Structure 1
Amino acid sequence: MEKKKIGLWSLVFMNVSAMFGIRWIAKSTASSFGLGLGAIPMWVLFTFIFFVPGALICAELASTYQRDGGLYEWVKEAYGEKYGFLVSWLNWTAKIFWYTSFLTFLCVNVSYTIGNPALADNKIFVFVTSIIVFWVLSYIATKGMSFAKIFTNAGALGSTIPAAFLIGLSFLAVFVLGKHESASTYTVATLTPQMNMDSFVAISAVMFGLAGAETTANFITEIDKPEKNFPKAIIISAVIIAVLYVLGSVAITMVLPPEELTASKGVLDALAAVSVSLGIPSWFVQIVAFGIAFSVLGAIILYIASPIKMLFGSVKEGIFSKKFTELNEHNIPVKAVTLQAIIVSVILCITTFLPSVDAIYNVLVTMTALTALFPYVLLFAAYIRLRKDRPNEVRPYVISKNTNTCIAVARLVLVVTIVGIVLSAAPVMPTLAENIVYELQMIGGAVLVIASGIIIWNRFEKKQKASNVK
C-alpha cells in the first residue's frame, strides 16, 4: 500500500508550525530585550525585505530540485559537496541551541496550563520537563513526517488560535467595548526603534522569528505534487504568519506596556490582563497556554527531524560513522536522533546554572539568532549562482521570468542576512569586561562551530585521498 502523501493544507500547517512562533511577539516587543513599540514597523519591514523574498527563493529551489535534503541539495548544486555539508552542519548546530530555548518557552506554558505560573521560574521544573519532553518527541520524530504531521498540524492551530485570541480580545477590549485603556500610544516617535545595541540584537531576533521557510523542503519526496503545492503552501503561510506577527505585536502592546512584558511570559500575561478586563474566567488562559504548549511540541518534532535528516541522512557517505547515517524505514537516521537528544540534554544541564529562567531563555535565543542566520548566507549565494550559471534550467515555479530580477531579489535578501548577523553580535552588556566575555561567547562560539565543520570535512577528504592511493 502506497504511503499517503502530504497535501497542500497539511503542508501549510507544517510551514506555519515551523515558521510562526507566538513567543516572538512578546520577545520582540519587550523593552527589556526587544524593540518595544518599534517592533511593529520592524515586523512589517523584514516581512518584505527578508521573509517573503527568502520564502519565494525556497519555493523556487524546492520545485526545481525535488529531492529530500533542502538546504543541502540546493547549496550542493551550486558549490559542491563540501559546502552542502557545511550548510547542513551550520543548520543543525544552530538548532541544537534553538531546542533548549524553545523547551524553556514550552515549560512556561505548561506551568500556566496547570494553574501554577510560579513553576515557570523554577529551574528544576524547567530542566526535568525539558529533558522528558525532548526524548519523547525525538522518539516520535523517528516515525517520519507522514506520521508526525498529526502533531505539526495540531501544533499550527495551537499557535495561531492563541494569537488570534490575543488579537481579537485586545481589539475588542480596547476599541470596541472600551473595557481596557490602551497601554501604549502609537505615534511616529514611539514606533521608531531606538538605535542602540539592544535594538540591533533584537532586530536579528525578528529575522530569526521569520526564518524557516526551507524546513519542510527536507521532506519534498513525501509531498503530493511538490512543484505546485510547495510554492502555494509557502505563499499562503507567509501571508498568515506576517499578519499574525504584525497584529499580534499591536495587540500585546495595547494590553501591557513594553516595560511590563517579558520574553517568555508576555503573551500569557497579556491574555490574563485582557481576560480580567472582559470578565473572562482564569481557566481561559490555562486553555490557551495548553494550546501554545501543544504548538511548541509540533514545531520541535519538525525541527528534530528536519536538520538531522539533512545532515546525517543526506550528506556524502563516510563523513560520519555509518551507524549515525543509517536510515530506518521512515528515512530518519535514528541513532543520530539519539545522539542529538544526548547533546541537548547536556546543554540543558549546563544552562540550568544560569540565574533565572528568563535569563536562560534570552541567552539561548540570542545565541541561536547569531548561528541560525549563517546557513541563509550560503542559501542565497547558491541561488544567485544557480540563476547565473543555469539560466535555462527547467523551473516549475519562478519568482520572476526575468533572471536579473531574481538575482536582484536574492542579493537584497543576502545583504539583509549579513547585516542581521552583524547586528546579532552587537555588544549589549553594561561594562567593557562583560562585553568582552559576551563577544567571546557569541563570536567565538560561531567561529568554533564553523571551524569544527571545516575540520570534519577536511578529515573526510584526507580519508578519501588515502583510500584512493591504496
Structure 2
Amino acid sequence: YPTILSFIAGLIAYMINPHLADNKYYLISVILIVYWTMTWINLKGLHVSAQFASICTVIGMVIPMILIVLLAAFWILKGNPLQMHLNIHTMFPAIHESESWISLTAIMAAFLGMELATVHVKNIQNPQNIFPKALIFAITFILITMILGSLSIAFVLPKDQINLVDGVMQEFSSFFHVYHLNWLIPVIAVMILIGSLGGMINWMISPAKGLLLAAQDGFLPKFFQKENKHGVANVMLIVQAVLVSLMCLVFLLMPSVNGSYWLLTDLSTELYMMMYFLMFIAAVFLLTHDAVKGAIFQVPFKKVGVWILSVLGILGVIMTFVIGFFPPSDVNVGGFWHYEIIFGSGIVITSLPAGLFYWYKTCHAKEWEIH
C-alpha cells in the first residue's frame, strides 16, 4: 500500500509544490490521511467501493494511459529528440548487466495482485465463463498499456531525470510545455490522482475479504470474523489501516524518498513471491493427489498445463526473490548493508503472521471440528 500511496502523495505534491515529493514528513502525512479516508469509504460496503473504483479507473487510468501513448507517438512523428532508441540491443534486456536483472523486481511488482479478484468470484454470475475471460482481458490490457506507457516515458525523459514517485507527471509536463498546453497539467494530475485512489480502494477491500474468509475457516480468532451492517469486514479493515500506518515509518529509515519507495516495492514483491511459491507448490500437490477432478476452473491442457505453468512460475518466483536482495545502484538506499538489514528485517517481521495464523489454526483445530 505505501508504494501506491507514495505515488498519490507525489501527484498531490506536483500540483502544490513539486519539492514536497522529497519531504518524508509530507509523504507520511498524506499517506495516512488518504489511506484512512479510503478505509472509511470501504466501510460503506462493496457496492459503494466497486462503483467508486470503476469510475476512478476510467477517468484516472484508461484515459491518461491512452493520452500518454498518443502524445509519445505524436512526439516521435514530429521528429523530437528521443532519449532511447529502439534497436536489437535495446529491445532485449542486457542479461550481462545487473541493472537489467534488478529491474525484474519492479516489473513483477506491476503484475502483483491479479489473484485478488478471486475473492469476489461468488458475486459473479456464471463465473466459469465470465471470470477467465475477464482475467485474460485484464492481463492483455495491462501488458499493452504497461509496455507502451513505459516506452513513452523512456522516449521523452532522460534516465537520470525519471523520478519513481512522480515520473508520469514529469512526462506529461514535458509534452504540455512543448505544445504550450500547460493548463492541462493540473487537469491530468487530478485525473491520475482519481485513478490511483480507485486502484487503492481495490487493493484494500480484496485482502480484507480474503482474510475474513480465512478467519471463518479458523485461521484467525473469531474477533476478526466481525462484519458491519454493510457486510464489510470492518475489524480487518481497521487492523489493516493500523499496520499500513506503522509501515509508513520506513520513510524515516531511508536516506531518500526514492530509496524508501524502492524498499517498499521490493519488500512487497518478495512477500508476494513467497506466497506465489506456496501457491504453485499447492497446485502441483493437488494435481498429484487428484484433488482437482471436477474442479469448476480448468487449466488449459489439464495436467500437462498445470505442470508447465507451475514449473515456470516456481522458476520465475525463485529468480525474482534472489534478485530482490540487490538494490539498484542509481537509487540512494544508504549503502548495501544498510538496505539489507532493513530489507531482511522487513521480510522476517511481515512473514511472522503467516506462521502465527497456521499455529493458531493447529491449536484450535479440534474446537473448529466441534463447531
Residues 1:417 and 2:334 aligned together:
no
One-letter amino acid of the structure 2 residue matched with residue 265 of structure 1: D
1:237 to 121, 131, 138: 138
| Long gaps (5+) in structure 1 | 1-98
Residue in structure 2 matched with residue 79 of structure 1 by the alignment: none
Residue in structure 2 matched with residue 375 of structure 1 by the alignment: 275
One-letter amino acid of the structure 2 residue matched with residue 221 of structure 1: K
One-letter amino acid of the structure 1 residue matched with residue 165 of structure 2: S
1:396: Cα distance to partner?
Answer: 4.7
Alignment RMSD: 2.7
1:133 to 10, 25, 34: 34
1:185 to 85, 103, 109: 85
Residue in structure 1 matched with residue 158 of structure 2 by the alignment: 257
Instruction: Assess if the C-alpha contact under 8 Å between 1:370 and 1:442 holds in 2.
Output: no
Counterpart secondary structure, 2:271: helix
Larger mean Cα displacement after TM superposition, 450-459 or 289-298? 450-459
Q: Distance in 1 between matches of 2:328 and 2:27?
A: 26
Larger mean Cα displacement after TM superposition, 166-175 or 402-411? 402-411
Instruction: Assess if the C-alpha contact under 8 Å between 2:11 and 2:193 holds in 1.
Output: yes
Residue in structure 1 matched with residue 336 of structure 2 by the alignment: 435
Q: Distance in 1 between matches of 2:124 and 2:205?
A: 15
Residues 1:303 and 2:167 aligned together:
no
Residue in structure 2 matched with residue 101 of structure 1 by the alignment: 3
1:267: Cα distance to partner?
Answer: 1.3
Residue in structure 2 matched with residue 224 of structure 1 by the alignment: 125
Residues 1:147 and 2:86 aligned together:
no
Instruction: Assess if the C-alpha contact under 8 Å between 1:313 and 1:331 holds in 2.
Output: no
Residue in structure 1 matched with residue 65 of structure 2 by the alignment: 163
Residues 1:172 and 2:74 aligned together:
yes
Residue in structure 2 matched with residue 426 of structure 1 by the alignment: 326
Larger mean Cα displacement after TM superposition, 356-365 or 434-443? 434-443
Q: Distance in 2 between matches of 1:122 and 1:435?
A: 23
Q: Distance in 2 between matches of 1:136 and 1:152?
A: 14
2:178 to 277, 293, 298: 277
Residue in structure 2 matched with residue 207 of structure 1 by the alignment: 108
Instruction: Assess if the C-alpha contact under 8 Å between 1:152 and 1:299 holds in 2.
Output: yes
Instruction: Assess if the C-alpha contact under 8 Å between 2:82 and 2:155 holds in 1.
Output: yes
For each residue in 1:278-298, what CA deviation from the matched residue of structure 2 results, as whole angstroms up to 9, or x when unmatched?
23x212122111121111111
Residues 1:326 and 2:240 aligned together:
no
One-letter amino acid of the structure 1 residue matched with residue 7 of structure 2: F
1:276: Cα distance to partner?
Answer: 1.9
Larger mean Cα displacement after TM superposition, 165-174 or 153-162? 153-162
Q: Distance in 2 between matches of 1:468 and 1:286?
A: 58
CA gap of 1:220–1:164, structure 2 versus 1, over 3 A, is same
1:428: Cα distance to partner?
Answer: 5.1
Q: Distance in 2 between matches of 1:167 and 1:191?
A: 18
Residues 1:458 and 2:363 aligned together:
no
One-letter amino acid of the structure 2 residue matched with residue 254 of structure 1: F
Residue in structure 2 matched with residue 120 of structure 1 by the alignment: 21
One-letter amino acid of the structure 2 residue matched with residue 109 of structure 1: L
CA gap of 1:309–1:115, structure 2 versus 1, over 3 A, is same
Instruction: Assess if the C-alpha contact under 8 Å between 2:93 and 2:100 holds in 1.
Output: yes
1:426: Cα distance to partner?
Answer: 2.6
2:294 to 387, 394, 399: 394
For each residue in 1:180-234, what CA deviation from the matched residue of structure 2 results, as whole angstroms up to 9, or x when unmatched?
2222222222344344444333202201212222111111122222121111111
Q: Distance in 1 between matches of 2:225 and 2:132?
A: 30
Percent identity reads: 23
Q: Distance in 1 between matches of 2:50 and 2:85?
A: 41
Q: Distance in 2 between matches of 1:405 and 1:467?
A: 36
1:397: Cα distance to partner?
Answer: 4.4
Q: Distance in 2 between matches of 1:448 and 1:403?
A: 37
Instruction: Assess if the C-alpha contact under 8 Å between 2:263 and 2:343 holds in 1.
Output: no
One-letter amino acid of the structure 2 residue matched with residue 309 of structure 1: K
One-letter amino acid of the structure 2 residue matched with residue 169 of structure 1: L
Q: Distance in 1 between matches of 2:195 and 2:31?
A: 15
CA gap of 1:148–1:339, structure 2 versus 1, over 3 A, is same
Instruction: Assess if the C-alpha contact under 8 Å between 2:84 and 2:154 holds in 1.
Output: yes
One-letter amino acid of the structure 1 residue matched with residue 307 of structure 2: I
One-letter amino acid of the structure 2 residue matched with residue 342 of structure 1: V
Residues 1:447 and 2:356 aligned together:
no
Instruction: Assess if the C-alpha contact under 8 Å between 1:227 and 1:396 holds in 2.
Output: yes
Counterpart secondary structure, 2:231: coil
Larger mean Cα displacement after TM superposition, 391-400 or 329-338? 391-400
1:272: Cα distance to partner?
Answer: 0.9
Residue in structure 2 matched with residue 360 of structure 1 by the alignment: 260
Instruction: Assess if the C-alpha contact under 8 Å between 2:216 and 2:225 holds in 1.
Output: no
Instruction: Assess if the C-alpha contact under 8 Å between 1:111 and 1:120 holds in 2.
Output: yes
Residues 1:315 and 2:215 aligned together:
yes
One-letter amino acid of the structure 1 residue matched with residue 4 of structure 2: F
Counterpart secondary structure, 2:130: helix
Q: Which has the higher contact order (CA 8 A, sep 6+)?
A: 1
Instruction: Assess if the C-alpha contact under 8 Å between 1:308 and 1:333 holds in 2.
Output: yes
Q: Distance in 1 between matches of 2:64 and 2:154?
A: 16
Counterpart secondary structure, 1:149: helix
Residues 1:246 and 2:147 aligned together:
yes
Instruction: Assess if the C-alpha contact under 8 Å between 2:24 and 2:252 holds in 1.
Output: yes
